[in-house]
Structure 1
Amino acid sequence: MAKLPDFEALAIFAKVVELRSFAAAAGELALSKATVSKAVSRLEERLGARLFNRTSRRLALTDAGQRLSERAARLLTDGEAAESEVLAQSATPRGLVRLAVPMTFGVKVVAPLLPEFLKAYPEVAIDLHLSDATVDLIGEGFDAGLRIARLPDSSLLARRLCPMPRYTVAAPSYLRRHGRPTHPMHLADHKCFGYAYLSNPNVWHYTNAAGEEVSVRPAGPLRVNNGEALLPAVVAGLGIADLPEFIVGDAVATGKVEVILKGWKQAEGAVHLLTPPGGPRPARVEVLAAFLVKQFARGKKK
Structure 2
Amino acid sequence: MDRLTEMEAFATVVDQGGFTDAARKMGISKSAVSKHVSSLESRLGARLLNRTTRRVSPTDIGLAYYDRARRVLNDAGEADNLVTSMQSAPSGILRIAVPTDFGATHLSPVLGDFLNCYPDVSVNMVLKNRYVELISEGFDLAIRMGEMDDSSLRARKICEATQRLIASPEYLAKHGRPARIDDLNDHRLLYYSHNAASSVWRISAPSGEQRQVRSSSWFSVNDGQSLLTAAINGLGIAYLPSFLYAPAMKAGLVEDVIPDLPRDVQSLYAVYPAGRYTQPKVRALIDFLVEQFSGRSADDW
The TM-score with structure 1 as length reference comes to: 0.73
Letter in 2 for 1:162: C
Aligned match of 1:251: 248
Q: Does residue 101 of structure 2 align to residue 104 of structure 1?
A: yes
Mapped partners of 1:161, 1:208: distance in 2: 27
Mapped partners of 1:177, 1:151: distance in 2: 40
Aligned match of 1:57: none
> Following TM superposition, by how much is the alpha carbon of 1:140 offset from its aligned partner in structure 2, in angstroms?
0.8
Q: Does residue 251 of structure 2 align to residue 269 of structure 1?
A: no
Q: Secondary structure at the match of 2:158?
A: strand
**C-alpha contact 1:101 1:130 (8 A) present in aligned 2:** yes
Mapped partners of 1:163, 1:227: distance in 2: 17
Q: Does residue 139 of structure 2 align to residue 142 of structure 1?
A: yes
Q: Does residue 68 of structure 2 align to residue 91 of structure 1?
A: no
Runs (5+) with no aligned partner, structure 2: 1-11, 57-78
Name which of structure 1's ranges 236-245 and 14-23 shifts more when overlaid on structure 2.
Answer: 14-23
**C-alpha contact 2:18 2:55 (8 A) present in aligned 1:** no
Aligned match of 1:16: 23
Q: Does residue 186 of structure 2 align to residue 189 of structure 1?
A: yes
**C-alpha contact 1:163 1:269 (8 A) present in aligned 2:** yes
Aligned match of 2:207: 210
Alpha-carbon spacing, 1:102–1:129, altered in 2? closer, same or farther (3 Å):
same
> Following TM superposition, by how much is the alpha carbon of 1:152 offset from its aligned partner in structure 2, in angstroms?
2.8
Name which of structure 1's ranges 202-211 and 176-185 shifts more when overlaid on structure 2.
Answer: 202-211
Name which of structure 1's ranges 143-152 and 244-253 shifts more when overlaid on structure 2.
Answer: 143-152
Runs (5+) with no aligned partner, structure 1: 1-5, 53-82
Q: Secondary structure at the match of 1:294?
A: helix
**C-alpha contact 1:22 1:33 (8 A) present in aligned 2:** no
Alpha-carbon spacing, 1:40–1:10, altered in 2? closer, same or farther (3 Å):
farther
Alpha-carbon spacing, 1:282–1:241, altered in 2? closer, same or farther (3 Å):
same
> Following TM superposition, by how much is the alpha carbon of 1:243 offset from its aligned partner in structure 2, in angstroms?
0.5
Cα displacement string for residues 18-37 of structure 1 (whole angstroms, at most 9, x for unaligned residues): 4232644885x9x94799x9
Q: Secondary structure at the match of 2:197?
A: coil
Aligned match of 2:7: none
Mapped partners of 2:249, 2:17: distance in 1: 67
Aligned match of 1:296: 293
Sequence identity of aligned pairs in percent?
Answer: 31
User: Residue 162 of structure 2: which of 160, 165, 168 is its match?
Assistant: 165
Mapped partners of 2:115, 2:14: distance in 1: 40
Letter in 2 for 1:200: A
> Following TM superposition, by how much is the alpha carbon of 1:282 offset from its aligned partner in structure 2, in angstroms?
1.3
Alpha-carbon spacing, 1:162–1:15, altered in 2? closer, same or farther (3 Å):
same
Mapped partners of 1:297, 1:165: distance in 2: 14
Mapped partners of 1:129, 1:204: distance in 2: 26
Alpha-carbon spacing, 1:107–1:212, altered in 2? closer, same or farther (3 Å):
closer
Letter in 2 for 1:262: P
Q: Secondary structure at the match of 2:295?
A: helix
Report the number of matched residues: 259
Mapped partners of 2:13, 2:273: distance in 1: 29
Alpha-carbon spacing, 1:257–1:7, altered in 2? closer, same or farther (3 Å):
farther
Mapped partners of 1:100, 1:25: distance in 2: 55
Mapped partners of 1:101, 1:220: distance in 2: 26
How well do the aligned residues superpose, as a CA RMSD in angstroms?
3.5
